[in-house]
Structure 1
Amino acid sequence: MSEKNEQVVTVDGKYEPNVLTFNQGDEAVLTFNRTSESGCLDAVQSHDFGFQAKLPLNEKVSFDIPTDKAGEFEFACGMNMVKGKIIIK
């Protein structure tokens, strides 16, 4: 039976934390909470997971992350300048 694992990334001029780890087979939820108006961090995208969304200030935005494949996957701001990593092990 898989566990539900939600991890929250604070978006405040950077991603904190910027590396997150999920276990393969677990139900994984990645949540972004933008707390600052700085830079291009008003949007987030991941080509690896096929999501792209605006991040309203002080509102949580969540994505279900498939954990069927182990590996390292990226997410980034709308301009692809600030990046983070998801590790599925």
Structure 2
Amino acid sequence: MTPDRWIVLLLGLALVAFIVWFFWLKRSRGTQAAQTGSGYQEAMILVKGGYTPDTIVVQHGKPVRLTFRREETAGCSDKVIFADFNKSADLPTGKLVSVELMPEKPGEYAFACPMGMFRGRLVVE
């Protein structure tokens, strides 16, 4: 193989590795949910090209209220599903929608849009 083909091959492999890391392997540390006077652990999540923040850290045994604000019209982002808690919520554009959960056990629980393109994690300590 010629040197220019080696360069293209190596750049292509590097790009594939970056894409795999960015979409499947990258883990953010997470945002600690705020404790409120009502006893809930609360966090606001912006839905725009994904979930921001995409990782929420909470304590087990205390109720959690996640409030979603959707600022886009992509069809996939119109719903959020918490499969481990058997809960879901419709997310109309521009509206605040709260989802209340009670995490009993420590662990990581996923939430996502129906197609799985937008993904997030609830880390229960």
Unaligned runs of 5+ in 2: 1-37
Which residue of structure 2 lines up, in the alignment, with residue 15 of structure 1? Answer: 51
CA contact (8 A) 2:76 2:114 kept: yes
Higher helix share: 2
Number of residue pairs matched?
88
Equivalent position of 2:79 in the other structure:
43
The TM-score, its normalising length taken from structure 1, stands at: 0.89
Higher relative contact order (CA 8 A, sep 6+): 1
Instruction: Give the RMSD, CA atoms, in angstroms.
Output: 1.5
Larger fraction in strand: 1
Give the TM-score of the pair, scaled to structure 2.
0.65
Which stretches of structure 1, 4 residues or longer, exceed 6 Å deviation after superposition?
Answer: none
Contact 1:13 1:39 (8 Å CA) reproduced? no
8 Å contact 1:31–1:63 — kept in the other structure?
yes
Structure 1's unaligned 5+ residue stretches are none
Aligned pair 1:72/2:116, yes or no? no
Computing the radius of gyration from Cα coordinates, the structure with the larger value is 2
